[in-house]
Amino acid sequence: MPYSRVLLYVPDLIWARIPADSGRVPLLEKLLCRAHAAPVESATAVLTECFGLSAEDFPVAALERLGDTGIRNPCCGWRADPAHLLADRDQLVMVPQASLAVTLGEMRQIADTFNSSYAAEGYRLEFPEAERGYLQVPADWHCHSWNPASVANQAVTEFMPSGPDKMPVRKLMTEIQMLLYEHPVNLAREAAGRPAINTLWLWGGGRLPEQVTRSPTRIIAGLPLVRGLAKLAGRDSESWSADLNLRDMKGDCLIAMSLREFGCDAARLERELLAPVWRALRHGRIRQLRIYPGGKRVFALTRRSAFQFWRRTRPLSELWREPDDAKTD
C-alpha cells in the first residue's frame, strides 16, 4: 500500500542560497522543476495544514519547548534566541546566528543573570539548547513577531514585534540589551575577538494548544517544532536515519529536517534524503511528494510528473528568485 502523500519539510534550504558556481544539486533541481509550485503564506502555514491548527493557534515557542523538553507548560512562552545586532550607518543589522557560535554554558550564564533580575516579575528564561532559549512571561502578549532566520543580514527596524502588545515586548528587548552590555560572557567573547551576544530576539509567542485535529501517520523529525507537534498529537516521532525505509505503510508521512542535519551540505541532503524519496515516487510507493524548501512555495509531484523529462532543469539560483521569498515568518 503506497503512502498517500510524503511531505519533505526543510524550511532553511532556501536560506542556504546555493549559488550556481558552488556546485549544482541536480536531483533537487530536477524535482523542483518537474513539480507544480503552489503559493503558501509561510513555513507555519505548511504545518498548520498538516496538523489542523489555525495560524492564530500556532505558538512556535511553546511547541518547540514541548519538542525539546517533553514538558507541557500552560504559561505563555516566547523564543528568546541569542543574537548580535551590528550597527551599520544609521541602522542595526542582524548577524546570522550561526556566525556567533554560542555555547550552552554561555547562554545558561546569561539565563541565570536574567532570572535573578526578572524572576520576581514572573519571567523565567531557560536554554535547553545553546541556540534556542525559551522565555516564560507573566501575561499573554498579542503581537506579530519574526523568525530571526528570515531577518538575518537585514535591518531589524521593520521586523520588530508589532500589534496590540508590541510595547512591552520591545521594552523587554531593550532592557535585555542593557543587561547584556557588559555581561561577563560578552566581555570574555570580546576579549577573544568574538562578536558579543548583545540581545535576545523574542518571537513565536503564545500558549500551547490543547490538541491537534489531525496529523500524519508517520513523522520523522529533527526539528523540535515538529517533535512538539507530534507529542501534542499523541504520536511518536522518529529520529532521522540515513537508511530511509518508505515501504509498506499507508497514510501520510512528514519528514521534517534542517539542512544542518546534513552538515549544511545540499549534496548530502540529496544523496541521503532526496534520492530514496525520488526512487519511491518513481516506483509507485508514494502517490504524491511535496517539498517545502522555505519561502512562499510548496512543490508537488506525482509519479506522472516525475517522468516529465522534457521539462527543463534550471539551477537553484534561478528557482529561488521567483517569486520573491525574501520576507517570511
Could you read off the pLDDT of 200-217 as tens digits, one per residue?
Answer: 999 999 999 888 889 999
The pair phi, psi for residue 8, each rounded to 5°, is: -95, 115
Closest C-alpha to 208, from 136, 159, 150, 144: 136
State yes or no: pLDDT of 135 exceeds 90: yes
Spatial distance between the Cα atoms of 107 and 126, rounded to a whole number of angstroms = 9
The pLDDT-based confidence of 326 (bands split at 50, 70, 90) is very low
> Per-residue pLDDT averaged across 157-161, rounded?
92
- Domain ranges in the chain are 3-58+210-319, 62-206
Spatial distance between the Cα atoms of 329 and 324, rounded to a whole number of angstroms = 14
Spatial distance between the Cα atoms of 167 and 175, rounded to a whole number of angstroms = 12
pTM of the model: 0.86
For 217, residues 6+ apart whose C-beta sits below 8 A from its C-beta are 249, 250, 251, 252, 253
